[in-house]
Structure 1
């Protein structure tokens, strides 16, 4: 118990140093391997191609005073061959990024931590995961990471009448994509 408390304390102090001062484009966070990790046997199609249920990645679905929220939807459909999508069988990946805009870096990091632990932990529990941001919670089709004043969340929803024909996303797939997005965030947006 003591060892995990020390590990957590180290993560908390390290995360306070990460600060993201500029708005973040959620669509630019996934790396080139995201398609292969999350949608084997599918092709990407425009997000408006099919009516899909909105995934609520985080409790608040719009920016409010003190935070800036950006989101991105990517839609994949099963490939019938030759890049022809079967719109009866799709996977929707929704990414949401909440950036707390308080000029006090410690305060905004604390608010981000509170969002992840208080509001998102009901999804799958919050625990430390090596190399995936400071704190992370995972389920088969959901992930969230906090780093500094930013919480990054991702939800994966399979739909359509033939949805079982798309191989399911695994924990390893989800972790690989979230790690990749966190690395992009830290490389391109950290102040």
Structure 2
């Protein structure tokens, strides 16, 4: 099934001078706007406990020479009562942080800009979500932002046969979460 994709390339920070020298914990970046994206009556589920569609947030899926990729996956499902999740109706939040590890801050920022413009912007407006049967509903919103030598990417995907029961994430909501994450990054990790 094809999922719609939205890229927030216009949200890029103009600050090439920002530099993040230390490893970044992607799971510690979300702020209050992330919690507000959950449907009422949801419970968190260990992300590896159920098969869901994979949301690929950045083109490379592992660290390479000169960069460090960290990810965070959180899975939520409707509560059937007593904290028992209904996996026919879920929301998957995937965060990816690519930190370019060059000691030269300007070089790292240049590589981060290249990832934003060449790799992420190369999506033609449609991305293929794998691992979802035809009977399953699936919708996805995503955004990416660059600050200095770091690119943050976020995908919020709703899936399952009853996915319409989760109020869908909007581009504005996703951008609000990315803004929160950027603020946390700049406050807690900037060198």
TM-score (norm 2): 0.81
Q: Secondary structure at the match of 1:111?
A: helix
**What is the CA distance between 1:43 and its match in structure 2?**
2.0
Partner of 2:5: none
Higher share of residues assigned helix:
1
**What is the CA distance between 1:75 and its match in structure 2?**
0.4
Kindly provide the CA deviation profile for residues 57-108 of structure 1, in whole angstroms up to 9, marking residues without a partner as x: 1010000000000000010102334543211110111100000001111111
Matches within 5 A, 1:58-137: 58-123=58-123
| C-alpha RMSD over aligned residues | 2.0
Partner of 1:16: 16
TM-score (norm 1): 0.81
Partner of 2:134: none
Q: How many residues align?
A: 166
In structure 1, runs of 5+ residues without a counterpart are 1-7, 126-139
Structure 2 residue 56 is matched with structure 1 residue 48 = no
In structure 2, runs of 5+ residues without a counterpart are 1-9, 126-139
Higher relative contact order (CA 8 A, sep 6+): 2
**What is the CA distance between 1:161 and its match in structure 2?**
1.3
Kindly provide the CA deviation profile for residues 7-65 of structure 1, in whole angstroms up to 9, marking residues without a partner as x: x9xx64xx11100000000011011441222x222222211221112211101000000
